[in-house]
Chains A and B, each alone.
Chain A
């Protein structure tokens, strides 16, 4: 049985709400589902700047960050978070996005290195499985 550090360490994931929108139903459901699945979940709360999110990811030594955006500002905010993580040498962190994201933007976001985009209706177990698979 392998006993490497990664298989024992709990997955650490930041769930973040960038920008000004207050729609936190999805973020809270996902945070709780990931926690129930045995992960260490750090929920940033609302109204975070990209700088605050990058700082939290680095301080918390997170494996992944889930960005929840329902304000339509994803094409401004997501690239900034990605750039900040890169600048600070944290580009190995898995970044996912959830929210009302039109199809055209999904392909743009994936080109930026976003691992996956979840739109309304995505089941929580699919998200949990994705994070598990991507972090390992």
Chain B
């Protein structure tokens, strides 16, 4: 966009003469990620802009303004609240409650032992069974979890990574036993193992065999489960670990490109699997920076998929993503104030064009949410969708000097990180060298220092503090559930054909040592009601385990 020298001169003059003599508060004029923000953005900042090239139109390359032509005028985002606790029975009840209240998709939270590949009766599981999510050990649990739920009608999201292939096998067999083939199942399983090594730290195996499992799933799903997203490449946990918005963006996209590259290396056609890749971002409290992050993410993905990876289908360029508000921004102090934070964050996700959204509950810095807290979180989305008016037009902030400048800066800093990671030999090497881990730890520490020194104000924490705060009721998980779940598992063990378990585990071990795709073997194991922990242990005999050298 060519701009007149006269307009440019006036902008400079305003900055120097008018703003220069105006008062300015003593404050940190930076984004939460530490990026300086100017007092005013003008045409002058957009001198090199080319809206046709960089923005395009909603639903068309490079998708900066949105992945679908009509966006929320066509269909609102999916309000998808994450849920899970206790045994499969308790969570099944919660699922039916949510579906009964108009939720259209389900999102499953698993407990720590399930995420880490331990059965509920394993010593390492003590005190953790059913606490942070639902405990799933065998096919029997998966069948109970989805009892009475039409799996060909709802979409189901499962947040699990290291043992994702095993849980997917349970799901496929559970559906099969209801007469629903895998080709009719719609939903997403997280599977993004790279961000586990970077940030969330739930792993079962070393990086290379873990990547192979991811690619086994991507390959198998591209043939057998055309409606399924076999991976949700996630920045959420990177951000929660304390990264900046720029790091979240760059590391997530680089993880995505790494999966694309290894699928291509395996001989898959990029257009056969890329349309099924999905993403998951954080919505933090710095409103404009977040919106710019989503817009930049779509543009970078589209450009790289087309230009670098040679994808030809539009579907392969289109980045669809889920958003969750930032748990890390919530405070234990004055918890009701968290409703306000979550509202701002959710609005950023919506203005950034998200496809689905989870809003956190105000009590989550204290415990798992109560039913009341979850309801308010869901109502927050409904107010944004139906009352605020922001869904009337697409990408309402598009073209704003500030937003477009931030979007460009986001894209630039992502490319700077891509280059640094490439210099280290790619993402897997960078993780082994602790590069992203160290960048995140540094960012997280310097943010905390700014809060501790009072340079950054967190309401209720380091300013506007209430003395003698009242306590709010929190959810208690019944400790009996741990014993109940161990009992369920033992009942399954007593009831199954032990020789079938041995046979399927033996075949799994042998296949793990070969190049074979392991998905069909997990399905065989699932049918024999082999437990998750048994499968993970068998694989660990072949693959080994992962040990982190922590940096702080």
* Chain A residues engaging chain B, CB cutoff 8 angstroms: 19-25, 27-29, 31-33, 35, 43, 45-47, 49, 71-73, 75-77, 100-104, 119-121, 123-125
Stretch at the interface among B276-284, B441-449, B531-539: B441-449
Given A19-B128, A20-B124, A77-B127, A25 and B112 contact (CB-CB distance below 8 Å): no
A residues less than 8 Å from B235 (CB atoms): none
Q: Which residues of B contact A35 (CB under 8 A)?
A: 552
B43 contacts A by Cβ under 8 Å:
no
A31 to B112, CA, bound (A): 24
A19 to B202, CA, bound (A): 12
Residues of B within 8 A of A77 (CB): 127
Is the Cβ of B128 less than 8 Å from the Cβ of A120? Answer: no
Residue of B118, B125, B240, B330 near A120 (CB, 8 A) is: B330
Question: Are B240 and A24 in contact (CB-based, < 8 A)?
Answer: no
Note all chain B residues with C-beta closer than 8 A to A123. 451-452, 462
| CB-CB contacts below 8 Å: B117-158 with A | 118, 123-128, 131-132
The CA-CA distance from A76 to B127 in the complex, in Å, is 5
A72 near B367 (CB under 8 angstroms)?
A: yes
Given A28-B552, A45-B550, A100-B367, check contact A121 B113 (CB 8 Å). Answer: no
Question: Complex Cα distance A119/B332, Å?
Answer: 7
Q: Are A46 and B445 in touch, CB under 8 angstroms?
A: no
Whether A28 contacts B444 by the Cβ 8 Å rule is: yes
Known contacts being A25-B240, A49-B124, is A72 close to B552, with CB within 8 Å? no
- Contacts of B552 on A, CB cut-off 8 Å? 27-29, 31-32, 35, 43
Residues of chain A within 8 A (CB-CB) of B180 are none
Interface residues of B (CB under 8 A from A): 112-113, 115-116, 118, 123-128, 131-132, 196, 200-202, 240-242, 328, 330-333, 364-368, 441, 444-445, 448-449, 451-452, 458, 460-462, 471, 474, 477, 479, 548-552
A contact residues around B331 at 8 Å (CB): 120-121
How long is the Cα–Cα vector from A121 to B458 in the complex, in angstroms? 9
The reply to whether B367 and A25 contact each other, CB–CB distance below 8 Å, is no
Whether B131 and A72, one on each chain, are in contact in the complex, defined by CB atoms closer than 8 angstroms, is yes
SS class of chain B's interface: helix, strand, loop or mixed?
A: loop
Take A20-B116, A21-B132, A125-B452 as given contacts and tell me if A100 and B127 are in contact as well, using a CB distance cutoff of 8 Å: no
Q: A20 contacts B365, CB within 8 Å?
A: no
Q: Judging by beta carbons under 8 Å apart, are A121 and B461 in contact? A: yes
B550 touches A32 (CB 8 A): no
Query: Can you give 26 A-B contacts (C-beta < 8 A)?
Result: A19-B127, A20-B112, A20-B128, A21-B112, A21-B132, A22-B202, A24-B241, A25-B240, A25-B241, A25-B328, A27-B552, A28-B441, A28-B550, A28-B552, A29-B445, A43-B552, A71-B131, A71-B132, A72-B128, A73-B128, A76-B127, A76-B128, A77-B127, A100-B366, A119-B365, A121-B333
Report how far A28 CA is from B112 CA in the complex, Å. 20
Q: Smallest distance from the beta carbon of A15 to chain B beta carbons, Å?
A: 8
Collect the chain A residues with CB atoms within 8 Å of residue B452's CB: 123-125
Instruction: Say how far B328's CB is from chain A's closest CB, in angstroms.
Output: 7
Q: How far is the CA of A31 from the CA of B128 in the complex (A)?
A: 25
> How far does the Cβ of B454 sit from chain A's closest Cβ, in whole Å?
10
Task: Report the Cα distance A90→B474, complex, angstroms.
Answer: 34
| A24 & B201 in contact (Cβ 8 Å cutoff) | yes
Q: Do residues B332 and A120 form an inter-chain contact, with CB atoms below 8 A?
A: yes
Whole-angstrom CA separation of A75 from B332 in the bound complex: 19
Residue of B nearest to A29 (CB): B448
Chain B's closest residue to A31 (CB) is: B552
Q: A76–B461 contact, CB under 8 A? A: no
